[in-house]
Every structure is written in C-alpha cells, then in structure tokens.
Amino acid sequence: MKLPEEAVLLRLFTGEQEKLGHQPLYEAVVMKAREMHLAGATVLRGPLGFGHSSRIRSAKILCLSEDLPVVVEIVDSEQKIQEFLPVLDGMIGKGLLTLEKVRVLRYGNKEN
C-alpha cells in the first residue's frame, strides 16, 4: 500500500473505560480501521489528562484512575478517512475527534 504524500491524521481522544458492547472502544476502532483497510492505527495511553468533564485522570499511585486517557491515531488518505468517519460516528458515545492534514515522509520500508 502506498500513502499519498498529503494525508489526514484522525485522532480520537477518549477514556480506556469507554466500551462498544463488551469491547474497549479503542480496540473496536482499531479493528474496524483494519477491516476497512486503513493504512494503520495506533493507540496511545496517557498517564494524565482531563476532558469535557474537567475531571483529572492520572496514573499516579495516590490517585490512580481506572479511566486513563486514550488517544487513537489513524493516518490515511483524506478520502479513506472521510469514508471511515460515518462508521466511527456510529461507534463513539463520547470523546473528541480531530482531523489535521499531515505530510507523509515514509510509510513502510525504503524499498516500498
């Protein structure tokens, strides 16, 4: 697969306790992105954060949160991300979605 140099970065900011059925939301999103043949997805777990509720979520031992921040990042062509957005909208209960244009410098090995 070759990514265009001009691509789009989709980010979903949510909490690790968000679910889609019995599955963690972040896991369901990554599996759906793979099923739809998007270029790739990465889940990042945050040690500290807050969202629309302003409630601090932290990995510090004295105030260990059971709902740490999670960011799912997906990069692909604008067209493929736009096709994925309605599917994603049906999966998300709450969270923050952002899109930004990115320049792809390399995807895969140099030989690709």
Q: Which domains does the chain have, with CATH numbers?
A: 6-103 (3.30.70.120)
Q: Which pLDDT value is given to residue 83?
A: 98
Lowest pLDDT segment from 7-11, 35-39, 51-55, 71-75: 51-55
Q: Is the pLDDT of residue 36 over 70?
A: yes
Residue type, 11: R
Taking residues 8-21, what's their average pLDDT? 94
CA distances from 83 to 42, 45, 91 (A): 19, 26, 14
Q: Hey, what are 26's tokens?
A: 């972040």
Q: Which pLDDT value is given to residue 53?
A: 75
Confidence of residue 62 (pLDDT cuts 50, 70, 90): low
